[in-house]
Structure 1
Amino acid sequence: MRKKLKIRKWVFWILALLVLAIVAIINFQFWRSREDRFVRYQEFGTDIPVNYSIHGIDVSWHQGRINWPMVHSMEVRGVHLDFVFIKATEGLGRVDAQFRRNWDEARDAGMIRGAYHYFLATKSGRAQAENFLATITLESGDIPPVIDVEDTYGVRDTLIRQRVKEWLDVVQTSTGVKPLIYTSVDFYDRHLGRMFDDYPLWAAHYIQKDRPRIARDWSFWQHSESGHVSGINAPVDFNVFFGDSLALKQLLLP
């Protein structure tokens, strides 16, 4: 009887050790896979997702006066900044205080640039598009125009979609290119949805480290809002492009 008890104890401990070993292997593989998806760059002050070769930022007056040659020349372990989204306008008549300086100096420094409009759901989509178009001057090699939609301001979804579509139509008719939509993945799913699935998407999502949590295709991913860049004396958003240099060239204005 005692021998049987001893055998049972040995079997129990062997099985327990096997379970612990399996759990350890699973945990190791999980954390290894996470490490394979992003790397901490102390110089940038943020995690950078791997498997993306084209990186960029977005800026507005919040970043103050920017030294664009320093931005473009910064490189850390092979990661450098190729593109920038620059806030141009907001609502019906507001122009970003740093837009014209940023727009010209980013181009002169060699950055690929794109202009975006901060959309107010309470205002006419057409009137906001006209404010944007009166402010920007697009050139060959620029990223197509962007509408930034982040807040409902209490407006019902049907009216938001109507006004966003109006902005997109006016800008596309004027420029001849299909604009991009910037928004968070949650806002897109809750308030915009399938009606805009044909438009290129610049998705904001900070939780997952390998890709934004959204079912539809996307072109740009804002993965961090707390990065640091030489030449900018304020936190800055970091982005990646989903594709190689040829895919990016095909997206840009001819």
Structure 2
Amino acid sequence: MAKQSSTVPKKASPAAKKPAATARKKPAARKSTKKKKGFDYPWRTTLVIVLLVLFSPLYYGYVLNFFTGAVRWVKDIGENPHYRTYHSFQIRIPARYKIHGIDVSYAQGHIDWQRVKQMEEDSVHISFAFIKATEGMLIVDSYFKRNWREAAKNGIVCGAYHFFRPQKNGQWQARFFMQNVTFEKGDLPPVVDVETLDGVSPANMRKELQQFLTTVERKTGVRPIIYTGISYYQDYLAGHFEDYPLWIAHYNQPELQIDKSVKWHFWQHSETARVNGINHTVDFDAFNGDSLAFTRMLIR
């Protein structure tokens, strides 16, 4: 039988093998250390804050106040710093006193009390108002009821006054006054305005005035205030009625020129003030004391 030949494949030699491809690793990307152009974070924050301040109404309010104060300082050069001109009120005001007010009657006409209350210049504003109520034994001020109601409604402390006629009975004048005014807690004491003799003697004037004061005090439980001019006081009232609060008129002076022994509470220092809401000139007053002393004067 014939012999079959077999072919066995030869093994490849190790040298013949091709080397395997090696995957090369890409180098890691390095972070750039180069700074970016522009402002860093703190500078941006600062810039934002500055812009907010510059565009803030408060900033311009501060600048305006500073500018206004500087202008006022220049205008006041040479003036007494405690008695300088307040241009919105158009008068000089004794700035040593911190509580200011006005007194009004029909002569001021229709008053916008809201505007009166809102008016202010360099911390000077209207805190109180004395309002004319009656005169003699027959006359009621035509604007009294409205002024008495509206002034109080707008947060102004009120007091009512009677214009005294010495030739008429003091007791009856007091009764007429009290019939037309209702005083309440928080009001200023009632006021009697005495500034004429009406042809009677000083002694008779004082007699009727005492009748008026006694009657009002008995009915209200509070001691009335006496209003008068400085000359009238010195001529006819000095040494009398010393237990009653005193309100003195003395115009256009840096200080009330009265004997230091006289205890006064209110000073009417101008009769030509201009106040928002009032179309006519008006009397301007100062209280001689601080807020605590003012509160103690009020009816309780």
Structure 1 length normalisation: TM-score? 0.85
Q: Distance in 1 between matches of 2:243 and 2:82?
A: 28
CA shift digits 1:120-150 (9 cap, x unpaired):
1110001110110000011111000000001
1:87 offset after TM fit, Å? 0.1
Say whether the 8 Å CA contact 2:270–2:285 is kept in structure 1.
yes
| 1:217 pairs with one of 260, 263, 287 | 263
Structure 1 residues not aligned, in runs of 5+: 1-31
Say whether the 8 Å CA contact 1:185–1:214 is kept in structure 2.
no
Match in the other structure for 2:122: 77
1:213 offset after TM fit, Å? 2.5
Say whether the 8 Å CA contact 1:205–1:213 is kept in structure 2.
no
C-alpha spacing 1:88/1:214, structure 2 compared with 1 (3 Å): farther
Match in the other structure for 2:274: 228
1:41 offset after TM fit, Å? 0.9
Q: Distance in 2 between matches of 1:207 and 1:235?
A: 15
Q: Distance in 2 between matches of 1:190 and 1:68?
A: 37
Q: Does residue 1:57 correspond to 2:102, yes or no?
A: yes
CA shift digits 1:83-128 (9 cap, x unpaired):
0000000000110000000000000000000000000111000111
C-alpha spacing 1:197/1:105, structure 2 compared with 1 (3 Å): same
| 2:198 pairs with one of 153, 159, 165 | 153
What is the identity percentage for the equivalent residue pairs of Structure 1 and Structure 2?
Answer: 46
Bigger Rg, which one: 2
Q: Distance in 2 between matches of 1:157 and 1:202?
A: 19
Q: How many correspondences in the alignment?
A: 224
Instruction: Give the 3-state SS of the residue equivalent to 1:36 in structure 2.
Output: coil
Q: Does residue 1:168 correspond to 2:213, yes or no?
A: yes
Say whether the 8 Å CA contact 2:252–2:270 is kept in structure 1.
no
1:45 offset after TM fit, Å? 1.0
2:187 maps to amino acid: D
| 1:41 pairs with one of 86, 109, 127 | 86
Structure 2 residues not aligned, in runs of 5+: 1-76
Match in the other structure for 1:23: none
Structure 2 length normalisation: TM-score? 0.73
Instruction: Give the 3-state SS of the residue equivalent to 2:81 in structure 1.
Output: helix
Q: Distance in 2 between matches of 1:214 and 1:75?
A: 32
Q: CA RMSD in A?
A: 1.5
Match in the other structure for 1:124: 169
1:217 maps to amino acid: K
Runs of 4+ in 1 over 6 A off after TM superposition: none
Match in the other structure for 1:200: 245
More helix by share: 1
1:189 offset after TM fit, Å? 1.4
